[in-house]
């Protein structure tokens, strides 16, 4: 390990971190909407919609992301019909193609995670909400989603982290994110170990931050598991009421 | 006893042969040279259907041998084992499209270069860049660096803001960085075939790659719209080009080859032969 060289490499790779984060955030954000839509289709009870969603998940989960990126970038660009369509200004850009393929891929996995979360909500809770007269949308917002998201978070955290790592594939379509820059430095210097160690450390740092965020969200959504620090307040407030009752 | 006698006799023969060999090496007058080539790297060297060798290097070697006043024979040898075989004395010279890289120079010696394809641009026939000026002009970064910079300045109005595709960490990538920085937007590809695809689909406006590569790429099916445009660049970090590979101890042979190659370059033989095989002049400057 040459420390000076490793530091130089680190500075070069840090310059590429914004692109990696941009790719990951846009893909995860946009993918979440597609995933939610797909999960809703699966659970809608309408057979054609459910089958369509199943087929989508089957295709995108069953083929490598690398192949998907290649097909979307080089594959679609081969057809003159695509090149003359209104989509071309978007598909012409490597960045848009990368976000599109990452998003479509993560949507397939995430939809299954969301579906699992939604199915894990105990029917009794929904029944109770209905019994007190909550409207359907309110049940979704206040009962189903908080429970489903909390259930799905650990698995969804996994998916988000694998997306951060999957952005490394964007370098094959000319996007110079962290791995792309690393590969370039290696082919210029023939020094593999330093460069990949530094690149790996950068991904580790990114995913460490992400895992902390997921943990924080998990705790925010689990009030029952928090230490009852503020428990004294409701009891104190409740005491006069109960004495008044008696 | 008889066996020992035979052994002794054999040893004597060996010693005589060795001494003879050493004497021959000392007063080496090159009468006969065996040249190795791969025979599978067109248009440098190729094997014809009838099994005979042909190509730029084969034709050039005939001229060189004539000028060196030696008799030459060609042998074929796969490229990956060609340097060890030279070291082992299976032949005397390599002419196989081999570039004189620093790494190879540590092990063997090289003559002056006899062929450098250089780096060139390609675009689509329908592109406004198809009429890029200075077509076919050749600039050497070693001898005419100023000219190379001037050429880029001349092309600047047409190239300004265009997207150029190059292979990652290639010499053309370095050329774009050092000579066209701020003029064009660079996109890096893992493989040259990929920037061809993006040129065809219109994602990049032009590509830069070695002339040797481009001249075959434009003949590939699907690449009919590709056209080589503008000037070519060679020398400097773009590489010295192909040279004859020789054993380090054969300095006299290197001198012979250098003289013959220089005379072939001077009288236009390399130009004539390369135009026959490559379709353009590969004479290095």
> For residues B160 and B140, is the Cβ–Cβ distance under 8 A?
no
Q: How far is A35 from chain B (nearest CA, A)?
A: 30
User: Phi, psi at residue A175, to the nearest 5°?
Assistant: -85, 125
The answer to whether B145 contacts chain A (CB < 8 Å) is no
Q: In terms of domains, do B110 and B247 share one?
A: yes
Mean pLDDT of A25-48: 95
Q: In terms of domains, do B251 and B227 share one?
A: no
Mean pLDDT of A37-50: 94
Q: Is the pLDDT of residue A230 over 80?
A: no
Partner residue facing A174 (CB), from B169, B188, B201 = B188
Residue B148 placed within a domain? yes
Looking at residue B162, its pLDDT comes to 94
Q: In terms of domains, do B150 and B258 share one?
A: no
Range of the domain at B90: 31-116+241-277
**Over the stretch B73-82, which tens digit does the pLDDT of each residue have?**
999 998 888 9
Please indicate whether, in this complex, the C-beta atoms of A92 and B202 are within 8 angstroms of each other: yes
Q: In terms of domains, do B125 and B232 share one?
A: yes
Size of interface A-B (CB pairs under 8 A): 35
Please indicate whether, in this complex, the C-beta atoms of B201 and A94 are within 8 angstroms of each other: no
Q: How far is A148 from chain B (nearest CA, A)?
A: 43
Q: In terms of domains, do B213 and B229 share one?
A: yes
Residue B10 placed within a domain? no
Residue B24 placed within a domain? no
- Of the pLDDT bands very low, low, confident and very high (cuts 50, 70, 90), residue B4 is low
Q: What is the CATH number of the domain that holds B127?
A: 3.40.190.10
Please indicate whether, in this complex, the C-beta atoms of A92 and B169 are within 8 angstroms of each other: no
Query: CA-CA distance, B167 to B183, in Å (whole number)?
Result: 18
Q: In terms of domains, do B224 and B133 share one?
A: yes
Q: In terms of domains, do B103 and B137 share one?
A: no
Please indicate whether, in this complex, the C-beta atoms of B203 and A180 are within 8 angstroms of each other: no
Mean pLDDT of B211-231: 89
Q: In terms of domains, do B271 and B171 share one?
A: no
Q: In terms of domains, do B202 and B161 share one?
A: yes
Partner residue facing A174 (CB), from B187, B201, B202 = B187
Please indicate whether, in this complex, the C-beta atoms of B198 and A188 are within 8 angstroms of each other: no
Residue B20 placed within a domain? no
The domain tally of chain B equals: 2
SS (H, E, C) chain A: CCHHHHHHHHHHHHCCHHHHHHHHHHHHHHHHHHHHHHHHHHHCCCHHHHHHHHHHHHHHHHCCHHHHHHHHHHHHHCCHHHHCCCCHHHHCCHHHHHHHHHHHHHHHHHHHHHHHHHHCCCHHHHHHHHHCCCCHHHHHHHHHHHHHHHHHHHHHHHHHHHHHHHHHHHHHHCCCCHHHHHHHHHHHHCCHHHHHHHHHHHHHHHHHHHHHHHHHHHHHCCHHHCCCCCCHHHHHHHHHHHHHHC
Looking at residue B9, its pLDDT comes to 56
Mean pLDDT of A192-198: 91
Please indicate whether, in this complex, the C-beta atoms of A78 and B197 are within 8 angstroms of each other: yes
Residue B197 placed within a domain? yes
Q: In terms of domains, do B132 and B209 share one?
A: yes
Chain-wide mean pLDDT for chain B? Answer: 87
To probe the interface with B, which of A97, A174, A176, A190 has the most B CB atoms within 10 Å? A174
Please indicate whether, in this complex, the C-beta atoms of A184 and B168 are within 8 angstroms of each other: yes
Mean pLDDT of A135-164: 93
Please indicate whether, in this complex, the C-beta atoms of B197 and A92 are within 8 angstroms of each other: no
Q: How far is B169 from chain A (nearest CA, A)?
A: 6
Q: Selecting from 3.40.630.30, 3.40.50.150, 1.10.3720.10, 3.20.130.10, what CATH number does the domain A3-245 have?
A: 1.10.3720.10
Residue B182 placed within a domain? yes
Closest CA to A54 of A35, A68, A37, A38: A38
- Of the pLDDT bands very low, low, confident and very high (cuts 50, 70, 90), residue B278 is confident
pLDDT above 70: percentage of residues in chain B: 90
Residue A77: its chain B contacts at CB < 8 A? 197-198, 201, 203
**Over the stretch B149-184, which tens digit does the pLDDT of each residue have?**
999 999 999 999 999 999 988 888 989 999 999 999
Compare all CA atoms of chain A with the CA of B187 and give the residue at the minimum distance.
Answer: A174
Q: Is the pLDDT of residue A18 over 90?
A: yes
Looking at residue A234, its pLDDT comes to 53
């Amino acid at each position: 390990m040459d420390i000076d060289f490793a530091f130089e490499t680190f500075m070069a790779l840090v310059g590429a971190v914004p692109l990696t984060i941009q790719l990951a955030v846009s893909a995860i954000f946009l993918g979440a909407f597609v995933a939610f839509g797909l999960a809703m289709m699966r659970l809608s009870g309408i057979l054609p919609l459910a089958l369509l969603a199943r087929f989508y998940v089957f295709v995108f989960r069953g083929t490598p992301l690398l192949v998907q990126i290649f097909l979307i970038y080089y594959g679609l660009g081969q057809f003159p019909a695509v090149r003359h369509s209104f989509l071309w200004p978007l598909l012409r850009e490597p960045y848009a193609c990368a976000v599109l393929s990452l998003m479509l891929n993560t949507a397939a996995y995430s939809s299954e995670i969301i579906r699992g979360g939604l199915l894990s909500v105990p029917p009794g809770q929904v029944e109770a909400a209905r019994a007190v007269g909550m409207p359907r949308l309110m049940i979704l917002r206040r009962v189903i989603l908080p429970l489903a998201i909390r259930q799905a978070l650990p698995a969804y955290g996994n998916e988000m982290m694998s997306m951060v790592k999957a952005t490394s594939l964007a370098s094959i379509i000319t996007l110079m994110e962290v791995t792309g820059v690393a590969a370039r430095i290696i082919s210029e210097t023939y020094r593999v170990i330093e460069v990949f160690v530094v690149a790996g450390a950068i991904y580790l740092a990114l995913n460490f931050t992400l895992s902390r965020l997921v943990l924080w969200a998990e705790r925010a959504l689990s009030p029952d598991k928090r230490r009852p620090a503020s428990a004294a307040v409701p009891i104190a407030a409740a005491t006069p009421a109960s004495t008044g009752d008696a | 006893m008889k066996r020992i006698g035979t052994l002794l006799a054999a040893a004597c023969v060996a010693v005589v042969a060795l001494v003879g060999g050493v004497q021959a090496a000392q007063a080496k007058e090159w009468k006969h040279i065996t040249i190795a080539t791969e025979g599978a790297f067109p248009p440098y060297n190729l094997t014809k259907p009838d099994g005979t060798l042909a190509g730029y290097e084969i034709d050039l070697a005939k001229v060189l041998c004539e000028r060196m006043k030696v008799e030459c024979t060609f042998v074929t040898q796969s490229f990956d084992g060609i340097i060890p075989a030279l070291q082992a004395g299976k032949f005397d010279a390599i002419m196989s499209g081999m570039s004189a890289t620093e790494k190879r120079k540590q092990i063997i010696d090289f003559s002056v270069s006899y062929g450098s394809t250089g780096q060139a641009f390609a675009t689509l026939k329908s592109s406004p860049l198809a009429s890029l000026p200075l077509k076919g002009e050749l600039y050497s970064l070693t001898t005419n660096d100023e000219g190379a910079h001037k050429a880029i300045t001349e092309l600047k109005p047409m190239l300004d803001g265009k997207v150029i595709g190059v292979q990652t960490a290639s010499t053309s990538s370095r050329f774009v960085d050092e000579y066209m920085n701020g003029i064009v937007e660079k996109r890096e590809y893992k493989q040259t075939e990929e920037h061809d695809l993006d040129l065809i689909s219109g994602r990049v406006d032009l590509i830069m790659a070695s002339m040797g590569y481009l001249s075959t790429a434009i003949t590939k099916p699907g690449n009919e719209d590709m056209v080589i445009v503008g000037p070519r660049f060679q020398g400097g970090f773009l590489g010295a080009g192909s040279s004859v590979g020789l054993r380090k101890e054969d300095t006299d042979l290197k001198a012979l080859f250098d003289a013959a190659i220089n005379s072939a370059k001077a009288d236009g033989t390399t130009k004539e032969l390369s135009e026959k095989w490559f379709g353009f002049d590969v004479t290095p400057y």
